Structure 1
Amino acid sequence: MIEILEEPVGNTYRQLISLAFNICDEFILVKRDQIELSKNSELLIEELNPYVKAMKKQEEWPGTRLFGHYADVYYFDCKPELEQLLIHKAERLYQWKQPELLEDLCFYKDKEEWLITVAHENLGFIKTTVREEILRIREIEGIMIY
């Protein structure tokens, strides 16, 4: 597992999201019931609604486990129009948290976690052992990984 040491911001964020869309086939965003939504996040949900593949009430998702609460976990296929939406809605990886946006953007490759974020904790991880993917991650200017 590769730990992201510094938050990807600006062009680094955009390159990481583009790489995730190139490698992965699915991503999730989370809406936690115990955190109010802003107007911005309500608009985001409206924009995303036509692309929702599934929505599940879950108490856990990559990097997070709730106790006594559930959240709405939205599943999406990695489509080019959604890549552009994610790139334009945020300037940095850990910006994906309520109330301004949805929470914990995570990507999956072949049903396996690939990019995991826990935005409130400023944590990000990439799970891969594929040499080509590791090299592509290292090519992203400004990415600080361990």
Structure 2
Amino acid sequence: MIKIKSLWILSKEPTGKSYEELIDLAAQICEEFILVRRSKEPKSENVDNLLKELGKFFVEVNQQSSWPGTETTYCAEVYYFKLNYVTKEILKKYSKGLYSWIEPTLLQDLCFLKKDRKPWIINIAHEKFSYLEGSFNEDIIQDVEALNNIVGIEIEELIID
């Protein structure tokens, strides 16, 4: 059996209400999210405040040279947090769009993780590029349909051989 792998690209940035609805949907589908700190510069006050608010939902931080959507030659701090009704509101409070997750104002590359840390939406904010990837199956079809129901989100499918 041949599995077809696809990327579903968010062709425009979810902002405002569509960003908030995306976060709400992520909280229904995913268990965790990550944020990345690449910079070795001192954290901004905004980042410090964000980390304090997310503190009791902190899972771990790892030095990693790769995370969903990115591979580098250096290590960055990848923060893992629980995604729930409290943390989704914190994510909405600190940003009004998916591509606002950029240092130094915030941490980078907000990415949502399903069970077993399988990436759901992969976000490379500084490149203004976000996508879902996976084999063509019922779960991914349901996720894409749910995203398509959010006004302001546009998705394009790219099939990979």
Question: Normalised by the shorter chain, which TM-score bucket?
Answer: over 0.9
Letter in 2 for 1:44: L
Counterpart of 2:95 (choices 90, 94, 103) is 90
Structure 2 unpaired stretches of 5+: 1-6, 157-161
Q: What residue in structure 1 maps to residue 108 of structure 2?
A: 103
Q: Shift of the alpha carbon at 1:50? A: 2.0
**Matched residue of 1:48: which SS?**
helix
Q: How does 1:1-146 map to 2 (within 5 A)?
A: 1-67=7-73, 69-110=74-115, 111-127=117-133, 129=137, 130=139, 131-146=141-156
Deviation string 1:60-100 (CA, Å, 9 cap, x unpaired) is 10111221x21111111211100000011100000011100
Q: Normalization by structure 2: what TM-score?
A: 0.84
Contact 2:63 2:78 in 1 (8 A): yes
Letter in 2 for 1:3: I
1:118–1:36 CA distance, 2 compared to 1 (3 A): farther
Question: How many residues were matched structurally?
Answer: 145
Q: Normalization by structure 1: what TM-score?
A: 0.93
Among all aligned residue pairs of Structure 1 and Structure 2, give the percentage whose two residues are the same amino acid: 36
Q: Shift of the alpha carbon at 1:36? A: 4.7
Aligned alpha-carbon RMSD (Å):
1.4
Deviation string 1:87-142 (CA, Å, 9 cap, x unpaired) is 11100000011100111000111221111000110000023542222211110001
Structure (1 or 2) with the larger CA radius of gyration = 2
